[in-house]
Structure 1
């Protein structure tokens, strides 16, 4: 836990999740605030329009100060300045300044009057020889807005909590691929470093021994040391080639050219013939009796895949053993089977074989490097499949199936 806490990648993920969560929550909160503001604006505008309509209709139809609509009071001022008012009119009414201005010949005007919550809205106009002022209490409108604001505040708070929870979940899901990619990158770099360190150390050691022999002037045969250097450099080159191919596979386009797998297999076996002879292993190619085994793909990648399988077979086949590459047809697929009678493997390790830099299980301490993992990536990238069969002490067989030219590949 302490290591995870101090891991820079872990800290980066935590920061990314927090930023995404906060930004998402902020965006949702702002959206809710804007929506609430629009709702309040629309309600207030509707209230004002309804109040103005009620005042105009009441002022236009008033005959006396009795029986006005609820929360409305009427005031009539005659030419002598006497004012008649609706019974129980609140204190502070009417707006005498407006009555005087309109009564003196001014135009109709709408004014607000301070009072209890919400205050009052007054319309003052001339009607015949009288000046009419209709006053509407805005208390109900004020209470309605208060209830609306309370509901909006509660909704905003609930929305904020939901936004935070949702944003945290979305942030975790959004960064999950990044976390997986970072973990894979760390593991890949660590394992690749381990794979490269061994051949580099061997090369350095052999170069030092060769240098010591040359400086000592012993005149001894340095052929063996040079051969070991060449072999070590070849192994190192293969590891680097695997790493480069691994990085390029994800960017490889789907366009391909006709590739004769029989020719590719023949070239691979020709390259491995010297090694097989040194190990006293019989290397055999069994071509497809039905004709050329042609697929659409990338020759370099397919060549590397078959090379990896043959190399793996030779690595696990003792002297006197046999390794064969057999081509065939299983319409609409072309098959390539690399078979050996070597040490084999436990069937429980079948999937483990194709994991990058995997170690064998059940007491098998071998490392499988990148070869078999890249082989699966190459084959699936060409729309094919690869299967492994093995038994301890009974050898192993790897079967590749690729769409024949003209078939519809299933791109992986």
Structure 2
């Protein structure tokens, strides 16, 4: 919502600024052209018929035998133009910049045969143009202030209905997920009990398989509800931000790997944590970061065949903490990299049906970090979380890296 309001403010400001600039440019062009046309008309008239001894203001006339006026600017007449007119009998016009001003000069042959040069001083016209640019500058500043205020008001009013709709959507998702969580948990528990009883009572394989599928479906439904709750809580505002604090990402990764040790042994996988002995603090919500790291590890375990290896590496890199999970699994097509992070996407790499990696990116983004993925079919995958490094309490001796799975 903040980005939308800011975008509306910027667009409004840009439009008003563009309008002021266009109007100013048109005004400047029109005034300059009108001034130039008027001055050239007066100059041509003066050169052809003006009184040589008493020219109009800001104009000087030079001709043979005519005394030079006391207030005449230096450097005139332009002898080269007079010589050219005598030789060709054609009028010559030019613009001369001298003494911090501009002079318009016309040389021609009069009807009586005299060669006359008329010079006009543009300093007053140039001053008018500077005043115009000053006025346009003030108008630009006023326009920018008006644009900022207008953009803020329009942005707030335009985005308010959308913000309310999103807030209602989040409340619905949160309430629905919370209300469904208990019955789904009960279904999952009862399905597990029935599955164990079916195995204990040696029921037909067909019934045991159906109960196993029921357990898996109920478990996945619970995971989807957990994902929805976490996604809604990430945008819950100040109430959720109050939970932020220093989190030792290295210690958190070791803990997540330890929790998955039994599953790694069942799948005959080796998981190694490669982290420095000192803490690597980031500022964030521990439960959300734990879910993110757990999602990466779950994703790697689910796509690594037996006897494979998974490495969880952590390091501090230029003011950030990087956590990389590398597996020796099936990998994925590089063309599908971005689609991996789409909600409910199922690619050739597989993955559980749910928010999955999309939620993982959402968690990382809300913590001011980035998530990247690289991989090749049949050559494994690498997922990297990069979070801004934070400060934490004094470091305590770190635990030894956890290694689980096959020796």
How would you bin the TM-score normalised by the shorter chain? 0.3 to 0.5
| Structure showing greater relative contact order (alpha-carbon pairs closer than 8 Å, 6 or more residues apart) | 2
Give the TM-score, by structure 2 length.
0.46
Larger radius of gyration: 1
Give the TM-score, by structure 1 length.
0.45
